[in-house]
Amino acid sequence: MDNIKLPFGLGKYDNKIYHISEVKQGKECNCICPYCGQDLLAKKGNIRSHHFAHVKEECKYAFETSIHMYIKEILSKNNKIYVPGHNFAKEMYLHYNRVELETRFGGIIPDIAIYAGKQSKPLLIEVNVTHPIDDDKLEKIINMGISVLQINICDSNFDFYNFDKKDLEDIILHKTDFKEWAYNAYEDRKFEEISIKEEKRRSMLRKRKELFLFKQKIAEDFEQKYKVAIILPKECSQCDGIMSINKADDHYYYKCDSCKVNEPIGPSKYISFIKYDDFNINDKKQKIIECVEDKKERHQLLDFAIKNQDKQALEYITKLMIQQRDNKDKIDRLTILYNYFVTKQGKQIHISYWKNYYSNCPICGSDMVFRKSKKDNEIFLGCSLYPKCYGTKKIITISVKDVLYMDKNAFIYMLKDKISNKQHIIKS
């Protein structure tokens, strides 16, 4: 480093950076070292390249610091720099409005920092004059999530002693030949997003596969008990996905949810999701439909299970609803239904309950509560602000399957089969 001649000096009185070609010879240059502040001489002889020299002892970091200061001056007089592309962006001009030189930032001192608008995080610029950015410094920058652009001046073979200023401006401002991203925060975030999405996709496929295997076991048990043939989704032979069952005109077919590969199953008149074989429960012949995928058909099975006091069918539909991620409150209700109806040893129980389709008063919008008519003991919904408001609604009788979607208070009321003195406020 001691043998490198100094092409730039710092003006002693105006604090500007000057090239050797811009000053007078000798001490009349009125320049000092940009790093140590010692006086400089301008040596402009006929044999050697013109350069600055220290009056006393040479400074180790003068050359590199002077290059940084000159590049900062170029950046300060402009408002955009051409930056290289990366995996998620093309080469482009980056606009900025502020430039700082060797200012401490988060435990490091970058060569140059440029700011765009009101952004709190700058773009750091490291000028590789003699050596690239060191690993410790780069690690700290990465931990802060800040992009850093490295300009490899050392690779340009640029003659700092005899040059046209426009040539250096082109390298710094308008070209990417000697620039590279030491770290790009946006690119890193995009790679992380892709990695997270891929992991979520794999996790979803694993869960779907587990659910598929569970359904397969349930179907086999159900088939053996009731002699019902169920066609289930299957594993894809082309990838790690699951092939679901789809229907088109006169046939069913498998379609992989991941790679979209199709496989035929057969004409619907020979094969369907389930064969409608009769089976005997309590000496009554019933038919059952496939209920693994479709919520509506699960409800039909639930109707069948409750109506026929069938413990096995109710246990089966409960497992299915758990696997289909149905609401926990609805699963709890199934357990109550099982205890309330199935354990009555086949005794027929009349079920009568109600649901409020309109949770707010039609007049004032307040909550509705259960009320009983003093005249004929009729149950109805009345405004909770009564007697200030006389809004009412009739209570509507619904089917067995809708028990899972009743308001909680309505469900409790159904089980009690009576109106308590305490008001039950219906909430949506």
| DSSP symbols for 346-385 | T-------EE-S--B-TTT-PBEEEEE-TTT--EEEEETT
Averaged confidence pLDDT in the chain: 71
Q: What is the pLDDT of residues 89-131, one digit of tens each?
A: 999 999 998 898 878 887 888 889 999 877 778 999 998 888 8
Q: Is 299 helix (H, G, I), strand (E, B) or coil?
A: helix
Band (81; pLDDT cuts 50, 70, 90): very high
DSSP 176-205: -TTEEEEE-HHHHHHHHHHHHHHHHHHHHH
Nearest residue to 355 via CA among 303, 427, 279, 260: 427
pLDDT at 198 over 80: yes
- Token pair belonging to 303: 């109707």
- Element (DSSP H or E) covering residue 214: helix 185-226
Could you tell me the pLDDT band of residue 426, with boundaries at 50, 70 and 90?
very low
For residue 394, what are the CA distances in angstroms to 356, 373, 375, 377? 8, 12, 16, 13
Distance set, CA 279 to CA 72, 74, 228, 284 (Å) = 87, 89, 8, 8
Please report the pLDDT score of residue 95 as a whole number.
92
Give the pLDDT confidence score for residue 379 in this predicted structure.
59
380 has a pLDDT exceeding 50: yes
What is the token pair recorded at 115? 């700011």
- Asked whether the predicted pLDDT for residue 318 surpasses 70, the reply is no
Task: Look at residue 289 in the predicted model and tell me its pLDDT.
Answer: 34
When pLDDT is cut at 50, 70 and 90, the band that residue 254 belongs to is confident
Distance CA(53)–CA(243), nearest Å, equals: 78
Pick the more confident residue, 89 or 239. 89
> Considering only CA atoms, which of 256, 254, 276, 257 is closest in space to residue 266?
254
Report the percentage of the chain scoring pLDDT > 70: 59
Q: Are 344 and 317 spatial neighbours (Cβ–Cβ below 8 Å)?
A: no
The one-letter amino acid code at 121 reads K
Decide which of 264 and 221 is more confident: 264
φ and ψ at residue 61, rounded to 5 degrees: -105, 10
**Cis preceding linkage at 362, omega within 30:** no
Say if CB 381 and CB 368 are below 8 A apart: yes
Cα–Cα distance measured from residue 369 to residue 426, given in angstroms and rounded to the nearest whole number: 6
Could you tell me which residues are beta bridge partners of residue 114? 99, 123
C-alpha span between 113 and 130 (Å, rounded): 19
Residue type, 388: K
The pTM for the full model equals 0.49
CA distance linking residue 382 with residue 360, whole number of Å? 10
Task: Tell me which of 40 and 225 has the higher pLDDT.
Answer: 40
Q: How far is CA 319 from CA 202, 226, 322, 331, 403, in A?
A: 24, 17, 5, 9, 17
Tell the residue number behind the tokens 């606009």, with chain if given.
95
Distance CA 411, CA 299 (A): 17
Number of H helices, E strands in the chain: 8, 23
